[in-house]
Amino acid sequence: MTHRLPVTLLAAGAALIAGAAQADDPIKIGVPVGLSGANSVVAPSVVQSAELAVAQINEAGGLLGRPVELVVADDGSGASGAQRAFDSLIFSDQVDALISMQTSAARNAGLPILSRGNVPYIYTSFYEGGSCHPNMFVNAWVPEQQVPPVVDHFQAEYGAETYFLIGSDYSFGRGMLEFTREYIEAAGGEVVGEEYLPMDGTDWAPIISNLRSSEADAVITSTAGGAPNVTLTRQLRDSGVNIPYANLAVDEGTAGDMGDVAAGIYISASYITGIESDENAAFLAAMEEHFGDELSTPNELSVPQYEGILAYAAAVEATGSTESAGIIEALAEVSVDGPRGTIVMDHQRHAPLTMYLGRVVEGGGVELVTEFDAVSPGEQCPDL
């Protein structure tokens, strides 16, 4: 921290400061992420992919002749931590953009500060949809993209007509399953049960009993990541539930680690490590080379982070500046060819994505069942 800037200048935002910066000053990208708290499990992989993206940009000569610098801040996976992280990144480190995956609570908490600081923000986490801010772009999936592959497949493959939905009681869980219910009903199916367990709940027995007595054809779950996923899956299997089962909230890695209890579970994602493309192969090889033994396996949350930084770089190159207004305009147009394919955030600040339906196989690992090209995010922010 140097001397204090006049209030008015501060309020005008970081854009002005950035505009006044010297040519060899680095362009700073802020990554508020859950180094502690619920997201700390996945945070290392997210930080690594961000580091790789920045390293690659700098190896290629930086942006506009300026180096790119990454500033990581812990958002504690929650609202107060996120406000601190946004404050420190925007006002103390004076970053040019924020690019990160966060919990919905953390993202929401950051938005008012985003307004004050007026920097562009690329949100790289899948979420329940409908979060809109003039400075925010999303390059990960929303329910409109994730749910249809599952339901369509269950109907076509198993002729499933009745569904039982189980979730953790939080925004993501409820948001996903509300959409799932609407989609199932629109597709002519029936939801015979929709139950939620508190976030920290561990005993799914009464819900499983209701599931059994409902005699549903298929079960779709959307729990909090980590522990609830594992407890629900274990207890479902332990109770002898063998109907088709899709988990909307489990990532490839956790599903694989769960071992045989997870076998047969369907997952729907915009990224799985088995995507066969040159970009994905190159990305995985670069990660391997860059991090070696320290590598955290790339996943559904870390790859969009990588692509988000590439998208920002493309926007900077396209406008020739880091000035917020221009970048925000450009972000809606630039396209990135990344491990997940070609991505443009041109659908009301969201991006059409290729979605993959996978199934966990015996002994861990995910096999690709089928893929769906250019699934639209639907109506997310009609006002923007």
Partner 1 sequence: MPDLADTSRPAAMRAVLSPRGVKRTAILAIFGAAVLVGPLVLDPYTVNILVRAFFVAIVAVTVDILWGYSGYLTFGQGAFFGLGAYTLAITFSELGFGPWQAIAAFGGAMLLGALVAALVGWLSFYPGSTPLYATIISLVLPIVLVQLIYSGGNFTGASSGVVGYFSFTFMTDTWFRIAGIATLAVAGLAHVLVSSDAGRLLRALRDNEMRCAYLGLDTPRLRIVVLVACAAVAAAAGAGYAAFGGIAAPENAGFIFGTQLVVMVALGGRGMLVGAIVGALSIELASAYLSSILPFMWELLVGIAFVAVIVTMPAGLFGLLGAAARRWAPWAFTAPEPVTLRTAAGRAEVAQAGTDDIVLEANDVSKSFGALTVLSGVSLTARRGELVSLVGPNGAGKTTLIRCLADGREASSGAIRIGGTATDKLPPHRVVRLGLGRKFQAASVFETLTVADCLRIARAGRDKPSLVTTSSELALPAAARSVVESSGLDARLEDEARHLSHGLKQALELAMVLALEPELVLLDEPTAGLTRAERQRFADILTDVVERERLCVLIVEHDLDFVRQISSRIVVLHQGELALDGSVDEVVNSQLVREIYSGHQVEKTGEVTQ
Partner 2 sequence: MGNILLDMITTSAILFLTSAGLLVVFGVMKIINFAHAAFITVGGYATFVAHEIGLPPILGPVFAFGVGAVLGALAEWVIVRRLYARPLDAILATWGLGLILGQLVVLGFGRGVQFVPPPIQGTVAVLGTEYSLYRMVLILLAIAVGLGFTALINGTRLGLSTRAVIMNEQLAQGLGINSARVRLITFAIGCALAALAGSLLTPLTSVDPLMGLPYLIGAFMLVMVSGGSLPALAVACIVLGGMQAIISTYLGSVLGGLTIAVFAAIALRLRPEGFARA
- Residue 9 or 187: the one with the smaller Cβ distance to partner 1 is 9
Return the one option of partner 1, partner 2, none that residue 65 interacts with (CB less than 5 to 8 A, by type).
none
Taking the C-alpha atoms of residue 2 and residue 80, their distance in angstroms, rounded to an integer, is: 26
Among 18, 47, 53, 72, binds partner 1 (CB under 8 A): 72
Q: Tell me the two tokens of residue 371.
A: 């893929």
Task: Report if residue 81 touches partner 1, rule: CB under 8 A.
Answer: yes
In the list 18, 27, 47, 85, the residue contacting partner 1 (rule: CB under 8 A) is: 85
Helix, strand, or coil here: 278? helix
Task: Pick the binder of partner 1 from 69, 152, 161, 169 (CB under 8 A).
Answer: 169
Q: Which residues pair with 266 in a beta bridge?
A: 246, 359
Report the 10 Å Cβ neighbour count for 130.
Answer: 13
Q: Identify what 238 binds: partner 1, partner 2, none; CB under 5 to 8 Å per kind.
A: partner 2
Question: Out of partner 2, partner 1, none, which partner does residue 112 contact, by CB within 5 to 8 A per kind?
Answer: partner 1
| DSSP H/E element including 96 | none
Give me the 39-68 binding string for partner 2, x by CB under 8 A, dash otherwise.
Answer: -xx---------------------------
Q: How far is CA 78 from the centre of its chain?
A: 16
Is residue 348 involved in binding partner 1 (CB under 8 A)?
no
Q: What are the contacts of 311-314 at 24+ separation with CB within 8 A?
A: 311/122, 311/137, 311/139, 311/336, 311/343, 311/345, 312/29, 312/97, 312/99, 312/120, 312/122, 313/53, 313/57, 313/63, 313/68
Q: What region does 98 belong to: left with phi over 0, alpha with psi -120 to 50, or beta?
A: beta
Q: Which is nearer to partner 1, 169 or 346 (CB)?
A: 169
The one of partner 1, partner 2, none whose footprint includes residue 108, by CB under 5 to 8 A per kind, is partner 1
170 binds partner 1 (CB under 8 A): yes
Site for partner 1 in 257-286 (CB under 8 A): none
Q: How far is the CB of 30 from partner 1 (least distance, A)?
A: 11
Binding part of the chain for partner 1, among 88-96, 137-145, 259-267, 363-371 by CB under 8 A, reads 88-96
Nearest to 117, CA basis, from 88, 143, 145: 88
Return the number of other C-beta atoms located less than 10 Å from residue 41's C-beta.
16
Distance CA 102, CA 81 (A): 11
Task: Give me the residues that bind partner 1 (CB under 8 A), please.
Answer: 1, 4-5, 7, 10-11, 35-36, 40, 72-74, 76, 78-81, 83-85, 87-88, 91-92, 103-105, 107-109, 111-113, 116, 169-172, 174, 198-199
